[in-house]
Every structure is written in structure tokens, then in C-alpha cells.
């Protein structure tokens, strides 16, 4: 089951890239929320959200993600002036419900990846936050085309600073509670999103 789930993960992302390259972005991009739901499915059953503490942390990170995005969208004080588009799923007060899921998934998988290379709290927290910001950088290059979110004047440096600080706090909490999970699944979940964002960036710029 694990191998089949991972193969399907890469297939749907590769199919989307090929389809968009052929001009079928109006078909593939609105399906993005379903892809995120699939990522959540992999988190639950393969990464293993199988304890009370993991469930609580995931819920807390979801709420934090939605909260900071609400502040960001409605005040412009965290990430700049931006708003969410139509391809990130259902919204409440302008904030997609799935953005909280995305924050939680990214925190979990980047924390597990960081712990594969580092042991000290500072190193793990810094590396985990850097991985989140790194992926965000590539997503910012495709967000407007994809209909995910739209910046009024582009994503400035302050956007990444705020991302890093918030991510570091979430990783500090994760380290405190010794968050663990499936490293292989974490690599695939992170890698497929990074490669998709990079691939789409190349497609829309050539």
C-alpha cells in the first residue's frame, strides 16, 4: 500500500505538470484542493498521526496557520498585501480551510526531515523553518498563475522573515514534544511539492 500510494502521489503531480504544459491548466489547477486532501490522507495513514499528542499538535498547527493567514490577509502586516484565489478550496472570511492543513503538514514533514540531519534544538528548528521558507519561495513564483493566492506587489523580503519566525516557533513546539514520523513519506511529500513548484515555474516562464 505504501509504495502504491507514493507512486500515485508522483503520478498525479507529473500528470498535472504535463497537462498544464499542454495548456490544460483550467482542468488541472482547480483540482489542487483534492491533491492537498490526498496529502493529508498520506499523513494520517503513512506518516502516522497515531497518537494523542500528534493529533493535538496537528490541530494546533492548523489553527495557527489559519490564524496567521487571517491576520495576513486582513491586515497585510505579516506577509504583505495579498488575497486567496479560487483554486485553494472553500474559504471562510477569505481564508481557505485547507491552508491550515497545509501549515500543519509542512511543519510535520520538515521537522522529521530536519531531525534526520541534526540533533540540537537550534539546528533542528533552524533547518526545519528554512525548509518551509524554501518551499514557500518556489510556491510564491507560481501562486498567481495557479490561482492559489495573489500579492498586490509581489512577495517581499518581510514575507519570508515572518514565515521563518512563525515556522521556527512551530518547530520549537515540535521539538519540545519530540515529534516523530515516517521519514520516507516526509521526503516524498516535501520533494513532490518542491519539484512540482519548480517544474511549474519553468513551464510558465519559458
- Domain spans of the chain, in order of start: 2-205
* Per-residue model confidence as pLDDT tens digits over 85-115: 999 999 999 999 999 999 999 999 999 999 9
Distance CA 171, CA 175 (A): 6
Neighbour-count burial for 41-59, b at 16+ CB within 10 Å, e otherwise? ebbeebbebeeeebeebbe
User: Which pLDDT does position 12 carry in this prediction?
Assistant: 97
Report CA-CA distances (Å) from 144 to 83, 98, 137, 205. Answer: 10, 18, 13, 13
Please calculate the CA angle 176-177-182 and round it to the nearest 5 degrees: 120
User: Which pLDDT does position 153 carry in this prediction?
Assistant: 83
User: Which pLDDT does position 141 carry in this prediction?
Assistant: 95
User: Which residue ranges of the chain lie beneath pLDDT 70?
Assistant: none
Minimal CA–CA distance to 5: which of 128, 131, 188, 171?
188
**Which three three-digit cell numbers place residue 186?**
516526509
Amino acid at each position: 500500500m505504501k509504495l502504491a500510494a507514493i507512486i500515485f502521489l508522483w503520478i498525479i503531480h507529473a500528470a498535472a505538470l504535463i497537462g498544464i504544459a499542454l495548456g490544460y491548466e483550467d482542468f488541472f489547477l482547480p483540482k489542487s484542493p483534492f491533491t492537498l486532501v490526498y496529502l493529508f490522507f498520506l499523513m494520517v495513514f503513512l506518516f502516522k498521526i497515531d497518537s494523542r499528542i500528534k493529533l493535538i499538535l496537528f490541530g494546533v498547527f492548523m489553527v495557527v496557520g489559519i490564524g496567521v493567514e487571517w491576520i495576513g490577509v486582513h491586515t497585510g502586516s505579516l506577509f504583505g498585501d495579498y488575497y486567496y484565489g479560487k483554486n485553494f478550496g472553500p474559504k471562510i472570511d477569505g481564508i481557505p480551510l485547507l491552508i491550515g492543513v497545509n501549515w500543519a503538514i509542512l511543519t510535520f514533514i520538515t521537522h522529521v526531515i530536519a531531525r534526520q540531519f541534526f540533533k540540537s534544538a537550534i539546528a533542528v528548528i533552524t533547518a526545519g523553518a528554512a525548509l518551509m521558507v524554501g518551499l514557500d519561495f518556489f510556491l510564491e513564483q507560481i501562486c498567481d498563475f495557479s490561482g492559489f493566492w495573489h500579492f498586490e506587489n509581489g512577495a517581499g523580503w518581510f514575507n519570508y522573515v515572518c514565515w521563518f519566525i512563525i515556522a521556527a516557533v512551530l518547530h520549537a513546539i515540535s521539538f519540545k514534544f519530540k515529534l516523530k514520523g515516517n521519514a520516507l513519506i516526509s521526503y516524498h511529500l516535501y520533494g513532490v511539492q518542491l519539484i512540482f513548484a519548480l517544474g511549474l515555474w519553468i513551464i510558465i516562464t519559458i
